[in-house]
Structure 1
Amino acid sequence: MVHFVDSGDESADELAPVIPLFGGAASSAGRRTREGGGDVRSGSSRGFGSREGVETGDEEASPPARKGRVAEPNESPRDLAEKALLRKLRTRSLSIREARTALTGFDLAREDAEDIIEHLERMGYLDDAQLAEQLIHAGSDRKGQGRTAIAQTLSKRGVAREVADAALSALPDDDAERALEFARSKAGSMRSLDRDTALRRLTGQLARRGYGGSMAMTAARTALDETGVGGSSVRFR
Structure 2
Amino acid sequence: MTRRTHWPEHEDSGGPDSSRAGTGPPRTSHFSRPRGAEGKGEGAPQEPQDPAERARAICLRLLTGTARTRQQLAEALSKREVPEDVAEEVLSRFEEVGLIDDAAFADAWVESRHHSRGLARRALARELRTKGVDSALVEEAIGQLDADQEAETARALVDRKLRSTRGLDREKRIRRLAGMLARKGYGEGLALRVVRQALEDEGEDPEELEQHLPDH
**Counterpart of 1:205?**
180
Amino acid in the other structure paired with 2:147: D
Contact 2:47–2:54, Cα closer than 8 Å, also in 1: no
Residue correspondences, number: 166
User: Cα–Cα, structure 1 residues 192 and 74, in superposed 2: closer, same or farther, change >3 Å?
Assistant: closer
**Counterpart of 1:218?**
193
Amino acid in the other structure paired with 1:150: L
**Counterpart of 2:94?**
120
Runs of 5+ unmatched residues, structure 1 = 1-64
**Counterpart of 1:162?**
136
Is structure 2 residue 113 aligned with structure 1 residue 139?
yes
Contact 2:70–2:102, Cα closer than 8 Å, also in 1: yes
**Counterpart of 1:190?**
165
**Counterpart of 1:38?**
none
**Counterpart of 2:77?**
103
Partners of 2:128 and 2:81 in 1: how far apart? 29
Tell me how far 1:83 sits from its aligned partner.
0.7
User: Cα–Cα, structure 1 residues 68 and 210, in superposed 2: closer, same or farther, change >3 Å?
Assistant: closer
Contact 1:144–1:179, Cα closer than 8 Å, also in 2: yes
Partners of 2:63 and 2:163 in 1: how far apart? 41
CA deviation string 1:133-189 (max 9, x = no partner): 111012221111111111111111111111111222232332222212211121122
Tell me how far 1:72 sits from its aligned partner.
5.2
Runs of 5+ unmatched residues, structure 2 = 1-35, 207-216
Tell me how far 1:216 sits from its aligned partner.
0.5
TM-score (norm 1): 0.63
Tell me how far 1:224 sits from its aligned partner.
2.4
Tell me how far 1:74 sits from its aligned partner.
6.4
Amino acid in the other structure paired with 2:68: L
Partners of 1:93 and 1:198 in 2: how far apart? 39
* Bigger Rg, structure 1 or 2: 1
Contact 2:39–2:47, Cα closer than 8 Å, also in 1: no
**Counterpart of 2:54?**
80
Amino acid in the other structure paired with 1:198: R
Amino acid in the other structure paired with 2:174: L
Partners of 2:103 and 2:68 in 1: how far apart? 11
Amino acid in the other structure paired with 2:156: E
Partners of 2:117 and 2:39 in 1: how far apart? 37
Name the % identity.
30
Q: Which has the higher contact order (CA 8 A, sep 6+)?
A: 2
Contact 1:132–1:159, Cα closer than 8 Å, also in 2: yes
Match 2:63 to one of 72, 80, 89: 89
Match 2:153 to one of 162, 173, 178: 178
Task: Report the RMSD for the aligned CA atoms in angstroms.
Answer: 2.3
Partners of 1:93 and 1:73 in 2: how far apart? 22
